[in-house]
Amino acid sequence: MRAFICGLAGPKLSDEERQFLRDQLPWGVILFARNLENADQIRALTSDIRAALDREPAPILIDQEGGRVQRICPPVCRAYPAARTYGNLYRRDPVLGVEAARLGAKLVGIDLADLGITVNCMPVLDIPTEGSDAAIGDRAYGNDADTVLTLGGAAADGLMAAGIVPVMKHMPGHGRAEVDSHKKLPIIETALETLVATDFMPFRLGARRIPAGMTAHVVLTAVDDEWPATLSDKVINGIIRGRFGFDGLLMTDDISMGALKGPVSARADKAIRAGCDLVLHCSGDADEMTAVAAAVPELEGDALRRAEAAFEATSQSPAHDRKSLHARFDDILAQVEAV
């Protein structure tokens, strides 16, 4: 088993992809809209992935946050609100807001588990600031650490109650980025004491309860003015592992994003050397996948321990009463809309 996660080109495993998974044994596979058509097709695809990896549980990942980042849409899965909806409710009624965030995430998790998906890349614990790029926007629960941590923690609990591994993102904070890291590298020049008191806070406290995290492709000049967080030993070991005390599974954001430069193999190697446990590569491009696989090591030692612990943190709960859970969730949403 190698220390990377790969994407796939389409809704079915090609013969070449099946052989790649068998030969290279990535830790996991991530799915996007291009891979998803209907419930039966998704179940068949996840079954094929498990068979190719020959592993249970097979880490099959997705970004199913709700709002504008929801890979599986109606009619396969209901449309869930963006995180900011829960934050707006929390400001008016903290108890109801926390219930809504936990229940919404639990319902998302139940949907995913039914389709054979085991890891969801949420909650977003970033705190957007005035003037920041819209890439985070309403994906964040709010603009203060208390709201973001409280609701993000509730959402993580909801996913784990449904047997799904949550992945908090984007460590150690993407909220101040003034450009979209999918296209360009954000440079954040905020003072360290300000970052510690604000942006870092949700991740520092989330490190105690959320078993996996994803890095941010941002430069924090107060910590490392040369390398983005994903590739920075100073950020990963000094801040995420050190200051936050995070001993969970740490994966990169998509290594092929425009924020990073150079061949994907060099990016992958640098990320592992900086302290990431896993390299995430999403495009499904066969040549790039092969290059990433060759650049990363076997998953072993602390990285393997963290990967195993991430699944141990989830609940193997009995069957859920979906009807009553959806009814309660609809009742809460109706209260939001009535205000």
To the query of whether residue 253 is one of the catalytic residues in this protein, the response is yes
133/146 Cα distance (integer angstroms)? 22
Joined together, the tokens standing for residue 259 give 């924020």
Pick the catalytic residue from 93, 144, 180, 182.
182
Taking the alpha carbons at both ends of the chain, their separation in whole angstroms is 51
In angstroms, the CA 46 to CA 315 distance is: 20
Catalytic residue among 63, 253, 254, 277: 253
Parallel, antiparallel or unpaired: strands 168-171 and 187-188: unpaired
Two tokens at 131? Answer: 């003037």
Which SS3 state, helix, strand or coil, does residue 69 take?
Answer: strand
182 is catalytic: yes
Cα–Cα distance measured from residue 26 to residue 59, given in angstroms and rounded to the nearest whole number: 9
Backbone angles phi, psi at 220, to 5 degrees: -105, 100
CA distances (Å), 31 to each of 10, 68, 122, 218, 312, in order? 9, 16, 14, 24, 22
Distance of CA 267 to the CA centre of its chain: 19
**Active-site residue set:** 182, 253
